[in-house]
Structure 1
Amino acid sequence: MVRNKFHTGSGPSQRQLRVGELIRRTLSDVLMRGDIHDPDLNRMSITVGEVTTSPDLRIATAYVLPLGGDGADEALDALRRNRHELRRAVSKNLTLKFSPELRFATDETFDRMDDTRRMFADPDVARDLHPSGDQDPDDSVA
């Protein structure tokens, strides 16, 4: 069996996951320390939830959310304005042939979790989950 040197699975490769996590930690540290020379960006508390990379590792998309969720557009604008400085900071911690281009998007994970909680709290859904009426009150999803 001949193996292709490129990952052909449906999900990200282990290398993509490792590089994405390293970029996530580096961005989080840089933003927490305020290493970027932009007062607008430094006064924001931004969470980097996840970083995904393209298969060739040349593009990294960071999913971010400001603390409290308010001001996401302003945070994205500030990050995009400073993407070159952030890219330099990230490349110092990477041992890749190319430093990935950084892109930023709003992290909607928390919104999806809230929607899922609301869905499970719906009486019709709860009835479907426990059709025999043997629902234990302690088993309810909050």
Structure 2
Amino acid sequence: MREFSRTDRVGEQLAHELALLIQREIKDPRLGMVTVNSARVSRDLGYADVYITLMGENDEQRIGENLAVLKRARGFLRSRVARTMQLRHVPELRFHYDESVTRGHQMAELIDRAVESDRERGDDDEGTRD
């Protein structure tokens, strides 16, 4: 089994630290319930792509507002991360909306509808097999 690389470990710790900081330190009222899903750090630790979702909000305008707030706060967040993580160089932060959760919910709904449709069709077929 492959061990985690250094960038994987830094990404995990960075995501954890950012989740706490965003929840506790960012006081902007425009910021919704942000969840940090993951952080992917470049090999040279020069930048980190941070993937977030918003609890209960899929509106593109709200997503854009939240990303703008985080973009404005990235210098503050980076300086706070530098205090807690033992790194010579803290990566530049780039925030992205993670659509995988929304897609997962959509896929689950489609599967549920297909299963229900099959059940209904199965019930109809049983009534005609006398």
TM-score, normalising length from structure 1?
0.68
- 1:27-106 counterparts in 2 under 5 A? 27-33=18-24, 35-36=25-26, 38-40=27-29, 43-70=31-58, 71-106=62-97
CA contact (8 A) 1:40 1:78 kept: no
Shift of 1:39: 2.5
Greater relative CO, 1 or 2 (CA 8 Å, sep 6+) = 2
Q: Report the secondary structure of 1:47's partner residue.
A: strand
Amino acid at match of 2:29: D
How many residue pairs align between the two structures? 112
Which has the larger Rg?
Answer: 2
Structure 2 residue ranges without an equivalent (≥5):
123-130
Q: Deviations over 1:22-52 (max 9, x none)?
A: 111111111111x23x5335x5321111111
Q: Percent identity?
A: 30
Structure 1 residues 66 and 121: CA distance shift in structure 2, 3 A: closer
Q: Report the secondary structure of 1:62's partner residue.
A: strand
Q: Deviations over 1:93-140 (max 9, x none)?
A: 22122110000000112122123324534649x98xxxxx9xxxxxxx
Q: Is the deviation greater in 61-70 or in 22-31?
A: 61-70
Amino acid at match of 2:44: D
Q: CA RMSD in A?
A: 2.3
Structure 1 residue ranges without an equivalent (≥5):
1-12, 128-132, 134-142
Amino acid at match of 2:98: D
TM-score, normalising length from structure 2?
0.74
Q: Deviations over 1:33-75 (max 9, x none)?
A: 1x23x5335x532111111111111111111122212421110
Aligned partners of 1:32, 1:123: CA distance in 2, in Å?
Answer: 38
Decide which structure has greater helix share: 2
Q: Report the secondary structure of 1:17's partner residue.
A: helix
